[in-house]
Structure 1
């Protein structure tokens, strides 16, 4: 790192993780390592622009607020979904104009609203009458985006219990209240839930949005912004293509007027595939039965559920480790338990992997670790969060 700016290493054609490991002094590094492929973000943006050309992506900063990633996306021209004053500061610090930001949190502290007002970040979400009154007091010239509830039947992380008003009963009431207070409602938003795999969910939500638009226009609001939220997959491009078709079809059917600006709040979509976590086995234990027969092997890694694996609490997806060893397939497999480095007995990564007999110092890789990982990692028990190294494909 020079002058506080992380070094970016360049590669040709494809990033070879094993080669990076071999060229790095990882045996002397007790800290886990994140290998970040910035080019993955650029490829994702191109895919988005190809499949959803009308919808402007506003990256959800909460998903991964790494300043290097945020600046990289800012330089590519992405918009941003911020949920707090500090996220606003981060994004604005990279020269992003306020027009490229939506303050997409329906329940914001007054000091955060005052900061948004100072910085002229006028677009923000609201889903209850108390927040409307708060905006009337602290940010009356903001653009209110009414967030309504419309959840998918199949989603990894539903959000409707916490945020979103009823589209039929509450949304019209909020728009009437806003009108009475002299506030501007300029659009509506929804979130079908993270990890959505139900295509029909988008059409249901967009239909509700159309009705909200019509009511808003009827009572004199200038409705011009539709926010279709997040929930877009980060590693399944085929599923993303199906979702894109569903979203495009619904938006074009119900909002054919191109004067309506359409945005989205993808987070996982951009960053999940960009990170590979490399962990080292720093301790090992054999567990044998009363006859002395080996029952299982237990390994202790230098990262765990209080570190980057914290995402397992929120999105319990099956992890598959990559072993950077020769002749892995030909070796006999044993039931293996993976522990994190802390003293907490809950710090267990997995207890059902079949792996060859590994040794202290061996390295394991975990792909697709870029979403909701580092931002919620902590140095619990005094163990450092992983170091991050950055890579970018050479432009030929």
Structure 2
């Protein structure tokens, strides 16, 4: 790190996690290490352009707001989905133009709206009449993007209970209200839920979006922006390909007019697979049965649900650790439980695992931990959050 700015280390061909571990001397450190491969973001962006060529990705800053990541995405030319004044400040601070930003939070504090107005960030979401009146008072020149509810049947984090109006009952009324108040509705948006695993969900949502566009145009609004939200999987490219196929088919059918700008809010898609967390076992406990044989091994590691493994607590995900032992032949495995470092009894990472008999000082890794980890991490109980080191391929 130079002048407080993390340095990017370069590698040839493929990032070797074992080599990074060997060079980092993690056994002598108490702090876990987060290894972030920035080239993974480049590969994901190329995949996006290949499979969804008409849709402009706007990186969801809330997914991982590390300044190095945000600047990297800005340099790649993506748009941005911001949800607060501080996220706007960060993105704008990296030279991103306001036109590349959507203020995608339907219920924004007044001070945040005023900042958006000062910075000329005109596109923002809204989903109820109270927010329409708030915009009338504090940012009447903004472009209202009407957010409606359309959830996937399978998603890690459903959002419909909190945000989104009813597409049939509420959307026409809100557009009529905006017209009566001389406000501009310029598009519509939805979010099927974070971590969507149902590729038909986007087809249902796009059918609702088409109807909202038609009603808006009948009312007299100039509708030219469609935001299909996020929810795209980050570590399952086969599922993403199925989703992209459904989206493309539905877009071609329902929004053939190329003048309509279509954007999205992917976060997990870019970040999930970009990071690997390496933790050290600092304590161990054996649970034995009445015969004295090992029944369960418990391992206590230096990161947990208050750190970069928060996703195991907040989302219904299962993380599978990998070991870095030098094995000449397969080792016997035992039922194992992994605990985080805090005193919280809920700070349990995984259970019902079968792992080799590990020792204090051994390292274990967790892949696909780039999404919704760093922003949630806190030094609870006085334990440091993991250090992040950044890597990038010399050439792709």
TM-score (norm 1): 0.98
Q: Unaligned regions of 5+ residues in structure 2, if any?
A: none
Give 1:288's aligned residue.
Answer: 288
Task: Give the conservation status (yes or no) of the 8 Å contact 1:328–1:356.
Answer: no
Once the two structures are superposed, the pairs formed by residues 80-95 of structure 1 within 5 Å of their partners are: 80-95=80-95
Q: Unaligned regions of 5+ residues in structure 1, if any?
A: none
Give 1:148's aligned residue.
Answer: 148
User: How far 1:205 sits from its partner (Å)?
Assistant: 0.9
> CA RMSD, aligned part only?
1.1
Deviation larger for 356-365 or 188-197: 188-197
- Tell me how far apart the structure 2 counterparts of residues 290 and 218 of structure 1 sit (CA, whole Å): 76
User: How far 1:291 sits from its partner (Å)?
Assistant: 3.5
User: How far 1:329 sits from its partner (Å)?
Assistant: 5.6
- Tell me how far apart the structure 2 counterparts of residues 319 and 311 of structure 1 sit (CA, whole Å): 9
Once the two structures are superposed, the pairs formed by residues 54-133 of structure 1 within 5 Å of their partners are: 54-133=54-133
Give 1:207's aligned residue.
Answer: 207
User: How far 1:328 sits from its partner (Å)?
Assistant: 7.4
| Number of residue pairs aligned between Structure 1 and Structure 2 | 396
**Does 1:223 find its partner at 2:223?**
yes
> Structure 1 pair 180/386, CA: closer, same or farther in 2 (3 Å)?
same
User: How far 1:151 sits from its partner (Å)?
Assistant: 1.1
- Tell me how far apart the structure 1 counterparts of residues 322 and 67 of structure 2 sit (CA, whole Å): 28
Deviation larger for 383-392 or 306-315: 306-315
Task: Give the conservation status (yes or no) of the 8 Å contact 1:175–1:216.
Answer: yes
- Tell me how far apart the structure 2 counterparts of residues 76 and 8 of structure 1 sit (CA, whole Å): 16
- Tell me how far apart the structure 1 counterparts of residues 245 and 120 of structure 2 sit (CA, whole Å): 34
1:365-395 per-position Cα deviation (integer Å, ceiling 9, x unaligned): 1000000111111100000100000000002
User: How far 1:196 sits from its partner (Å)?
Assistant: 1.8
Give 2:318's aligned residue.
Answer: 318
User: How far 1:198 sits from its partner (Å)?
Assistant: 2.1
1:116-143 per-position Cα deviation (integer Å, ceiling 9, x unaligned): 0000000000000000000000100000
- Match of 1:309, SS? coil
Give 2:250's aligned residue.
Answer: 250
- Tell me how far apart the structure 1 counterparts of residues 277 and 221 of structure 2 sit (CA, whole Å): 48
Give 1:271's aligned residue.
Answer: 271
- Match of 2:350, SS? strand
Task: Give the conservation status (yes or no) of the 8 Å contact 2:27–2:361.
Answer: yes
Give 1:238's aligned residue.
Answer: 238
- Match of 2:157, SS? coil
- Tell me how far apart the structure 1 counterparts of residues 303 and 373 of structure 2 sit (CA, whole Å): 12
**Does 1:160 find its partner at 2:160?**
yes
- Tell me how far apart the structure 1 counterparts of residues 198 and 331 of structure 2 sit (CA, whole Å): 41
- Tell me how far apart the structure 2 counterparts of residues 296 and 315 of structure 1 sit (CA, whole Å): 25
Give 1:177's aligned residue.
Answer: 177
User: How far 1:45 sits from its partner (Å)?
Assistant: 0.3
- Match of 2:89, SS? helix
Task: Give the conservation status (yes or no) of the 8 Å contact 2:13–2:395.
Answer: no
Give 1:15's aligned residue.
Answer: 15
- Match of 2:319, SS? coil
Structure 1 segments, 4+ long, off by >6 Å, are: none
- Match of 1:308, SS? coil
User: How far 1:203 sits from its partner (Å)?
Assistant: 1.5
> Structure 1 pair 143/329, CA: closer, same or farther in 2 (3 Å)?
farther
Task: Give the conservation status (yes or no) of the 8 Å contact 2:297–2:337.
Answer: yes
- Match of 1:167, SS? coil
- Match of 1:40, SS? helix
1:291-324 per-position Cα deviation (integer Å, ceiling 9, x unaligned): 3222211111000111111111232222111111
TM-score (norm 2): 0.98
